[in-house]
């Protein structure tokens, strides 16, 4: 009866979307029996004794072959996820069976594996689908594909209560891959309250001798660890390196780089010959992790560069009416995308303050833009005049990523800036506002709601209010 209904839907042109993706390689690549699978996974993790040198992971490159061959390698990366809380895992892997020049995001209800079902973060999947006409939900790509499925038993073994966004690359179009990375980054920035993890599913060289495979694979690994993406691309194109998930890796690395988490560590490397005993036709596997980096403190040289850039940008606009377009600085930290506010003071009084709540461009560009905006576009003040330039003091506040909180009592005055939002009304105070006024938490929040967001002064207590906190690295002339 079910087949008849599906056939009727297809005949009348209605697309039928399966809500649950059934396993494709259970019983072949890994045990289909729940107990046997759990036993195999446990044995992998029992063989690992790693010292965790970082608080949390942001990304993992993990293999996807039969578990007998690659399972022990994969377990190294996943072992570092024990006792961590992850809300959403972006799974990015290659389509081995089809080449459609598309990227397919599975937007059904769940993926099924022997240990149970794993839910899809459908709202995020649909958000990606709406970004580009070449981002599609093509079940044909997902149903036979093993690259993503091979990661799920490991995730299910170490994590609780998480959802996934399964992404299959069926294209080598670099601009399309980069657009997917940017779309993913936007989602992460829009959901600061969630913990995200990124998995790139890829094996390494295929069917060379053990000697050739090890040389080729360690060259690939070295280029990843050195962040030498351009040379890696050239070596892939000329066949000197091999990664079956290279298209997926391009998305993955772009996301790592965008959030400043591109410092990688190799945990383990092996190839199929270590298990099969056949050293003439092996496939390589690696487990490479990308820890979430702690916020880096700027050097005095970097701070002075930004302060001088801000003043130069204001001066040039005063003299020419044109915005200063700065050249790329030598400092890598200043080329990363960061949110920033530029504040002007004159005779100890506020003279202008404009900034971005979320990172929109490299830090050095944002400082140049916000300096001009603070001087000439703050609606609370008249435009800065030439005779005032020597009288103003410039202050720069570089923001950490936003973190949504549920209880206003989590706010620590003097440490946290706060962004309050309800519907289309919002307002923000930097942490230094409390320092300058001497307000306690309630006075700080009442003023923020009433005078910045145009809300009732006690709106911060309402259940539907959105509260975000952030910290700043502040410095001035």
Q: Which residues of the chain have pLDDT under 50?
A: 1-16
Delimit the domains of the chain by residue range.
Answer: 14-291, 300-476
C-alpha 375/C-alpha 180 separation (Å) is: 36
pLDDT of residue 53: 67
Show the tokens assigned to 63: 């293999």
C-alpha 247/C-alpha 172 separation (Å) is: 6
pLDDT of residue 162: 96
Q: Strand runs (DSSP E) across 282-409, as ranges?
A: 282-291, 339-346, 349-355, 392-399, 403-405
Close Cβ partners of 266 (under 8 Å, ≥ 6 residues apart): 221, 225, 286, 287, 288
CA atoms in the 13 A half-sphere facing the CB of 390: 1
- pLDDT tens, position by position, 58-114: 999 999 999 999 999 999 999 999 889 999 999 999 999 999 999 999 999 999 999
Q: Strand runs (DSSP E) across 26-128, as ranges?
A: 57-62, 88-94, 102-105, 110-113, 116-119
Q: Which residue has the tokens 């923000």?
A: 428
C-alpha 248/C-alpha 260 separation (Å) is: 19
Burial of 471 (0-12, 13-18, 19+ CB in 10 A): middle
Output the furthest CA–CA distance in the chain (Å, rounded).
83
Indicate the CATH number for domain 14-291. 3.40.830.10
Close Cβ partners of 16 (under 8 Å, ≥ 6 residues apart): 6, 9, 10
C-alpha 34/C-alpha 29 separation (Å) is: 14
300-476 folds as Glycoprotein, Type 4 Pilin (3.30.700)
Q: Of the candidates 21, 42, 232, 267, which has an alpha carbon nearest to the alpha carbon of residue 144?
A: 21
pLDDT of residue 317: 93
Show the tokens assigned to 112: 């099924």
Show the tokens assigned to 74: 């994969």
pLDDT of residue 38: 95
pLDDT of residue 438: 85
Whether 92 and 62 have beta carbons less than 8 Å apart is answered as: no
Whether 247 and 172 have beta carbons less than 8 Å apart is answered as: yes
Whether 157 and 114 have beta carbons less than 8 Å apart is answered as: no
**Judging by DSSP bridges, how do beta strands 110-113 and 20-21 pair with one another?**
parallel
DSSP state of 391: G
Whether 46 and 22 have beta carbons less than 8 Å apart is answered as: no
DSSP state of 393: E
Helix (H, G, I), strand (E, B) or coil at 355: strand
Q: Of the candidates 221, 239, 224, 207, which has an alpha carbon nearest to the alpha carbon of residue 65?
A: 207
pLDDT of residue 348: 85
pLDDT of residue 356: 86
Helix (H, G, I), strand (E, B) or coil at 437: helix
């Amino acid at each position: 009866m079910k087949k008849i209904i599906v056939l009727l839907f297809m005949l009348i042109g209605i697309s039928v979307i399966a809500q649950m993706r059934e396993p494709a390689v259970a019983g072949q690549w890994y045990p289909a029996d729940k107990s046997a699978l759990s036993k195999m996974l446990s044995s992998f993790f029992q063989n690992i004794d790693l010292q965790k040198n970082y608080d949390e992971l942001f990304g993992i490159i993990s293999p996807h072959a039969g578990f007998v061959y690659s399972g022990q390698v994969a377990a190294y990366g996943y072992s570092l996820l024990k006792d961590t809380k992850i809300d959403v895992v972006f799974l990015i892997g290659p389509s081995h069976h089809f080449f459609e020049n598309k990227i397919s995001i599975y937007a059904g209800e769940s993926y099924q594996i022997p240990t149970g079902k794993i839910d899809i973060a459908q709202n995020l999947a649909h958000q990606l689908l709406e970004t580009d006409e070449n981002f599609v939900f093509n079940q044909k790509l997902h149903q036979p594909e093993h690259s993503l499925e091979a990661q799920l038993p490991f995730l299910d073994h170490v994590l609780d209560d998480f959802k996934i966004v399964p992404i299959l690359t069926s294209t080598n179009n670099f601009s399309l891959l980069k657009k997917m990375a940017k779309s993913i980054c936007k989602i992460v920035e829009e959901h600061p309250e969630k913990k995200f993890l990124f998995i790139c599913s890829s094996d390494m060289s295929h069917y060379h001798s053990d000697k050739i495979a090890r040389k080729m694979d360690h060259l690939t690994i070295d280029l990843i660890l050195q962040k030498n993406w351009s040379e890696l691309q050239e070596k892939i194109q000329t066949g000197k390196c091999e990664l079956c998930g290279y298209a997926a890796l391009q998305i993955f690395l772009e996301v790592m780089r965008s959030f400043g988490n591109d410092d990688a560590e190799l945990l383990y490397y092996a190839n199929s010959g270590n298990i099969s005993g056949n050293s003439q036709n092996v496939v390589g596997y690696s487990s490479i992790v990308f820890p979430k980096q702690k916020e880096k403190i700027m050097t005095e040289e970097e701070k002075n560069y930004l302060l001088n850039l801000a003043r130069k940008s204001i001066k040039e606009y005063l003299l020419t009416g044109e915005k200063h377009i700065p050249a790329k600085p030598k400092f890598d930290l200043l080329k990363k995308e960061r949110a920033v506010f530029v504040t002007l003071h004159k005779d100890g009084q506020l003279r202008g303050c404009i900034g971005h709540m979320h990172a929109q461009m490299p830090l050095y560009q944002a400082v140049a833009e916000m300096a001009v905006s603070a001087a000439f576009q703050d609606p609370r003040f008249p435009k800065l005049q030439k005779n005032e330039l020597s009288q103003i003091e410039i202050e720069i506040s570089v923001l950490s990523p936003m973190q949504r909180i549920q209880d206003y009592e989590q706010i620590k005055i003097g440490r946290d800036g706060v962004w309050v939002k309800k519907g289309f009304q919002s307002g923000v105070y930097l942490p230094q506002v409390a320092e300058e006024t001497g307000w306690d938490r309630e006075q700080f929040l009442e003023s923020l709601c009433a005078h910045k967001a145009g809300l009732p002064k006690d709106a911060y207590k309402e259940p539907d209010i959105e509260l975000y906190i952030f910290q700043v690295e502040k410095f001035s002339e």
